[in-house]
Amino acid sequence: MTSHQKVLGNALAQFLGRALTAITSFVIVKLVTSVGAEFYGNYVTAYEFLAFFGILADAGLFAIAVREMARARERSEQILGNIFSLRLILIVAVVLIAGVSAQLVPNYAPYVRTGIWITALSMALTIVAGTLSSVLQARMKIQKFAGSLVAGKILLAALVFFIIRNFEFFGTPVHGFFALLWAGVISNVLFAILVSFFAAREVPIRLHWDTVFLKRILRDSLPYGLALILQTLYLRLDVVLISILLGAKAVGIYGVPTRILESFLVLGVFFGQAILPRISEQEKDADAMNRTLAWGMEKLLLFSLPIVIGISAFAKEIVLLLSSPEFLSAEGFLGSNGVLQILIFTIFFAFFNQLFTFTLVAKNRQNYLLLVNGIALGMNAVLNILFLESFGLIAAVLSTIGCEIVVFALLVREIKKHFSPKFSSKNLTMILLANALISAEIFLTPVGKNLFWAIGICGATYLAMLWPIRKRLM
């Protein structure tokens, strides 16, 4: 098996795992939105508030750990042990900071502020699992992480189903709200246990503290960690500002499309993580790095275009499938389907942005990532503060797309300085033709009138078009 096939196999394992978790996430969205847009908005707020703090606890250490273990496999135990020790300290500090900070937001309902303490526990468990999974990522065995994630999500979906179906048992919506958040904690306990089991089969999990090593790692990771913080802020700031300026119902309307989007965006993250150990190993071979980058860009084009085409065409059907008519657009009202139909175009840029980000990490260009994400954060903050109250959700949508395009342009500029990827014109032509054909099927034939028929027929068309060059695509 070639190195590219190993990367692709690793990425496909993550893709399948993420597809299954996406299905369970969509089931959860459908169940929780049945209580109402405002309730769902508060549920989303309890989790979204923690996103920024979760990145604080990461501090860029995951990507650096994968890079270091890929370069020095024999030192994996020491690398993991030191980074795990440091992240445990960060987790405790960040949970306390997040919980206290939530109490200072006057626009949040008291039970939402309390609920954020509960979701902080979920965040802590997720970070523990993510830290331990770095050894699985470095050794190209991320399918075990993906399987653990699926198991946790299935348990969560089952618990949410039970809670929603027996909602009256909890007496009040507030008690039901807390029950849903505790379900998240329980599912993440299972997730962390499974990842710990698989990681321990690769290297012994022990805490280490090597001050010299940690100083060097922090010197590398902090610029990237700060870049991740800024990236999380510019990606999540709109939801936080919507919750403060427009209220819980607006968060609920915006939350459905963003949950759908996140289920796909994480594929770009997983793909970038799958390439990171390979491109780190090729650090001293410029030609090999260029081939790997070109191969990765080709694969992202292959997957991103049909996602954008399909979801933009069937936004209304997808939102209705996952929520209720309350969330749909109406006269003078931008609903979840309208938001999704526009926001889905960020997928294309976000996929490539993740690939370029991890590639630049392998090149030790974390400082540039810090600059790029700082620009995006400033842009997103200014646009939302100026226009959100006046124009509503459309301001948040256009701001998000604008930020992703700016980040894409800046990352491409830096990639060109360090890499010269060469692409197969035949492969690119066939990919574009295949996407043009499925677009024609959706928008010009009766196939576009039924979501499930479109998935089957367009999927078959896409596969048939690309099958003759399947070996070239590997």
| Residue 312 in this model has a pLDDT that exceeds 70 | yes
pLDDT score at 406: 92
| Residue 13 in this model has a pLDDT that exceeds 60 | no
pLDDT score at 99: 84
pLDDT score at 327: 86
The three-state (H, E, C) secondary structure of 362-401, written as one string? HCCCHHHHHHHHHHHHHHHHHHHHHHHHHHCHHHHHHHHH
| Residue 350 in this model has a pLDDT that exceeds 60 | yes
CA distance 175 to 170: 6
Higher-pLDDT residue of 395, 73: 395
| Tokens, residue 194 | 């499974």
pLDDT score at 287: 83
CA distance 312 to 306: 10
Query: Are the beta carbons of 474 and 4 closer than 8 angstroms?
Result: yes
Q: How confident is the model at residue 313 (pLDDT cuts 50, 70, 90)?
A: very high
CA distance 49 to 119: 9
Q: Locate tokens 């939102």: which residue?
A: 319
pLDDT digits (tens, 9 = 90+) for 117-147: 998 888 889 888 888 888 877 776 777 887 8
Q: What is the pTM of this model?
A: 0.68
Most confidently modeled of 1-10, 103-112, 138-147, 273-282? 103-112
Provide φ and ψ at 88, rounded to 5°: -65, -40
| Residue 6 in this model has a pLDDT that exceeds 60 | no
Above pLDDT 70, what percent of the chain?
Answer: 90
| Tokens, residue 105 | 């937001």
| Residue 211 in this model has a pLDDT that exceeds 80 | yes
pLDDT score at 104: 83
| Residue 58 in this model has a pLDDT that exceeds 70 | no
Q: What is the largest CA-CA distance in the chain?
A: 65
Q: How confident is the model at residue 305 (pLDDT cuts 50, 70, 90)?
A: very high
Mean confidence (pLDDT) of the chain: 83
CB atoms within 10 A of CB 280: 22
In 73-172, which residue ranges form alpha helices assigned H by DSSP?
76-102, 110-138, 142-165
DSSP conformational letter for 333: B
CA atoms within 13 A on the CB side of 467: 7
CA distance 153 to 24: 6
pLDDT digits (tens, 9 = 90+) for 361-409: 777 777 788 888 889 888 888 888 899 888 888 998 999 899 889 999 9
Residues 6+ apart with CB under 8 A from 160: 27, 28, 31, 32, 180, 183
CA distance 163 to 155: 12
The torsion angle over the Cα atoms of residues 372, 377, 383 and 386, rounded to 10 degrees, is -140
Q: Chain-centre distance of CA 182, in angstroms?
A: 22
Provide φ and ψ at 330, rounded to 5°: -140, 180
Higher-pLDDT residue of 48, 461: 461
CA distance 301 to 431: 8
Residues 6+ apart with CB under 8 A from 121: 95, 185, 188
Domain residue spans of the chain: 3-423
DSSP conformational letter for 469: G
CA distance 311 to 267: 16
Most confidently modeled of 180-184, 207-211, 215-219, 225-229? 180-184
| Tokens, residue 449 | 């009138």
Q: What is the mean pLDDT of residues 279-284?
A: 71
Q: What is the mean pLDDT of residues 106-113?
A: 84
CA distances from 67 to 96, 137, 364, 428, 453 (A): 30, 10, 10, 30, 43
Nearest CA among 438, 420, 459 for reference residue 290? 420
Query: Are the beta carbons of 135 and 275 closer than 8 angstroms?
Result: no
Q: Chain-centre distance of CA 23, in angstroms?
A: 15
CA distance 337 to 278: 39
Residues 6+ apart with CB under 8 A from 366: 60, 220, 221, 223, 224, 227, 360
| Residue 165 in this model has a pLDDT that exceeds 80 | yes
